[in-house]
Amino acid sequence: MGEKRKRGNANVAGAGASADNQHETMPTSPADFFQATPKVDLHRHLEGSIRLSTLIDVAREFDIELPDLDKLGSMVQVTQDDPHTSQNFLSKFEVLRQFYRSPEVITRITEEAIADAAADNVKYLELRFTPSTLARSGNYPLGEVMDWVITATLKAQAEYGVTTRLIVSVNRHESTHLAAEVAHQAADRLDSAIVGLDLAGDEANFPAVPFAPIFQEARQAGLKITIHAAEWGPAGNIAQAIDLLEAERIGHGVRVLEDQSVAAMARERNMTFEVCVTSNYQSGVVAEVGEHPFKKMIEAGLNPTINTDDPAISGITLSSEYALVGDKIGLTQAELQKRITAAVEAAFIPAGEREKLAATLGGISRMR
């Protein structure tokens, strides 16, 4: 499952070290190698990136009623004894929804999520968040929630040296009226850190089609579009995401090879897949990590990237994910480094910024 994520107030002062300094000591293990490698994460949920120590602090401050505070970890993290099902995985978020109690809490979890990315040598992060979820406990205005996350992101980006862009998410099980309001508020903030709009949630039971006009309008307004598809639903959901919702990237998409016509469409459109291997295993998408179709996707001419999804819930880092894909799925270090390049090329930033990011990551090939 990869190395466990370090909790608490980790010392991240060295996370912004230069590539030259990182090359002074050649890492020996795969985990050390990828910890020393500057990386890109295109698919990380803020709500799934909260430190356990922070949750404990919030529970005590706001007297959140829990059966047993000492067992909070098993309530918000996937454990060895947990069933690998989508229901169990999503149940962690049900517990987490109790904790977004104030602007200060939302600010703290945002800053800490970026600090933790920096500690893992992530140089570019696209952090997605669901304003309606963060707003619910305090009945906060959606726009104010977005502003809190934006302000915290800009502060943490400057402090920790991680270029961070925000993707706003809406859920399939919520109303299209709410989704439209979120999309409009996000479009109004395009001159900030917000760059994209995402459709997430229960893919198996709630279709994407009703949201198509909202996403079409959002793209016309300048928002980039990524859609969770073919994670728990069929490959055909990818075709819907591309044709109806105008997706520029696909979240997960690991069932794409079940329909060769859809795979051909994705190949022709040069779609990037934001794949999250441990998440797919823990939520029952694949029975074993070694059975994950990641390598087969590459062999089929598709473009998967490696991402974390919900690192705190899964107990992982992006470094441990790279090591896991190498160990269990059989990609070489050179092949894994190509996945970092693929993520850079798919980043929701202008071409000039993408070139600067590529230059920042240019030292990775010298570590071989």
Say which of 47, 231, 248, 321 is annotated catalytic: 231
Task: Confirm whether 112 is a catalytic residue.
Answer: no
SS (H, E, C) the chain: CCCCCCCCCCCCHHHHCCHHHHCCCCCCCHHHHHHHCCEEEEEEEHHHCCCHHHHHHHHHHCCCCCCCHHHHHHHHCCCCCCCCCHHHHHHHHHHHCCCCCCHHHHHHHHHHHHHHHHHCCEEEEEEEECHHHHHHCCCCCHHHHHHHHHHHHHHHHHHHCCEEEEEEEEECCCCHHHHHHHHHHHHCCCCCCEEEEEEECCCCCCCCHHHHHHHHHHHHCCCEEEEEECCCCCCHHHHHHHHCCCCCEEEECCCHHHCHHHHHHHHHCCCEEEECHHHHHHCCCCCCHHHCCHHHHHHCCCEEEECCECHHHHCCCHHHHHHHHHHHHCCCHHHHHHHHHHHHHHCCCCHHHHHHHHHHCHHHHHHC
Q: Catalytic site residues?
A: 231
